[in-house]
Amino acid sequence: MEESKLKWGIIGAGIIAQKMIDALRQNRDSELIAIASKSAEKAAIFAERNRVPISCSYDEIVNNNDIDVIYVATTHNFHFENVKLAMEHGKHVLVEKAFTVNGEEAEELAAIAKGNNLFLMEAIWVRFLPSYKLLKKKLTEGIVGDVKQINITFGRFIPPKYEKRLNDPDLAGGVTLDMGIYPISFICFLLGELPSEVKATSVFSSSGVDMTADYLFKFPSGALASINTSYGLYLNNNATLYGSKGYIDFPDFQEGESFTAHIHNGTNTPEPGILISEKNNSNGFIYQVKEVVRCIRNGETESPVIPHQETIGIMKIMDKIRDQWGFKYPFEE
């Protein structure tokens, strides 16, 4: 017998919600039934434009008994209260990155999910891309030996549509929670560990958030990593992973489908590179939607691909980074 579809609602009628709609429609086990916004007018316009049956308030969406799972697509500052509200009403939740603003909030949400037997996951969608999975598999198989050093650059001039959100301290803007989180998460995913040492420097925007930042990490395995990130500068968006037997070039860091392994077997003469590719769907969100459906159907409260402890650990790394700059958001004071 065919299982009934998971019914989704979205909180926050903004830019990313729009992209999620297409991914939900591509999933045959999912059905989007409601969009909620603080503004009734905005919700109604969004619903009409995207053919979503119900437009409503936050209170109405969490009290709608037909809805199984809520995608929280608001700005970072609201994630904690929106996720908490949804879970207090018995909803499973997929929440946009960054999961919360800090580690303390993350711990509280993970405890609520566990205590109420609800599924909760941070939408680090790139982890679920086939190309990322293949890279992780190749590294685990030892294609370049033990990974010793990683360099990642991830930066771009921010498109005007994101300017307000990224520049605003009240919305928990800044490069670390918005962009730095991706290379940090990528490295922790590939190495399977969290850093034991964290160092960071930054240049702040005139609005008072971190705009350009560099992070240095040391991991328990002895691996080192450096990250350059910025929302005010175009960087070449490249990841290089250096191992004991070779190195990997992973260009187009965020959405790349190909990487090249250069094997040197412990010499200073790498062999010609081996190109390895895996195609990703043009809407990379479809894979995380699939994982949410799989976990909820199996009664799991977290995904093994990005477990709560790792999400919390990554939030705490970003706390450490911001601590080094004495940077708190206005509502954290």
Ligand X SMILES: NC(=O)c1ccc[n+]([C@@H]2O[C@H](COP(=O)([O-])OP(=O)(O)OC[C@H]3O[C@@H](n4cnc5c(N)ncnc54)[C@H](OP(=O)(O)O)[C@@H]3O)[C@@H](O)[C@H]2O)c1
d(CA 176, CA 172): 10
According to DSSP, the β-strands at 246-251 and 238-243 are antiparallel
Total residues at interface with ligand X (CB under 6 A): 21
CB-nearer residue toward ligand X: 42 or 262? 42
Side chain identity, residue 181: I
The kind and range of the H/E element at 166 are helix 160-167
258-287 residues near ligand X, rule: CB under 6 A: none
CB-nearer residue toward ligand X: 14 or 208? 14
Q: How would you class 31 by CB atoms within 10 Å of its CB: exposed for 0-12, middle for 13-18, buried for 19 or more? A: middle
The distance of closest approach from Cβ of residue 326 to ligand X in the complex, given in angstroms and rounded to an integer, is 23
Site map 84..103 versus ligand X, x via CB under 6 A:
------------xx------
Span of 14-22, 104-112, 233-241, 288-296 interacting with ligand X by CB under 6 A: 14-22
The SS3 assignment for 89 reads coil
The distance of closest approach from Cβ of residue 84 to ligand X in the complex, given in angstroms and rounded to an integer, is 15
**Which residue is at the shortest CB distance from ligand X?**
14
CB-nearer residue toward ligand X: 83 or 144? 83
126-185 residues near ligand X, rule: CB under 6 A: 162, 165, 171, 178
CA–centroid distance for 225 within its chain: 19
Residue with tokens 């490249």: 238
d(CA 175, CA 255): 18
Q: How many residues does this entry show for the chain? A: 333
297-316 residues near ligand X, rule: CB under 6 A: none
Span of 38-46, 151-159, 261-269, 310-318 interacting with ligand X by CB under 6 A: 38-46
CB-nearer residue toward ligand X: 164 or 297? 164
Residue with tokens 């199984």: 68
176-195 residues near ligand X, rule: CB under 6 A: 178
CB-nearer residue toward ligand X: 39 or 117? 39
Candidates 5, 42, 156, 199; binder of ligand X (CB under 6 A) is 42
Site map 16..35 versus ligand X, x via CB under 6 A:
x-------------------
CA–centroid distance for 101 within its chain: 13
d(CA 265, CA 185): 28
String of DSSP letters for 185-246: HHHHHHHTS--SEEEEEEEE-TTSSEEEEEEEEE-TTS-EEEEEEESBS----EEEEEESSE
Q: What does the block give as tokens for 206?
A: 């005139």
Candidates 27, 30, 74, 228; binder of ligand X (CB under 6 A) is 74
The distance of closest approach from Cβ of residue 73 to ligand X in the complex, given in angstroms and rounded to an integer, is 5
Picking from 54, 106, 50, 46, the residue whose alpha carbon sits closest to that of residue 76 is 106
CB-nearer residue toward ligand X: 13 or 261? 13
The distance of closest approach from Cβ of residue 208 to ligand X in the complex, given in angstroms and rounded to an integer, is 15
Which parts of this chain interact with ligand X (CB under 6 A)?
12-16, 37-39, 42, 73-76, 96-97, 123, 125, 162, 165, 171, 178
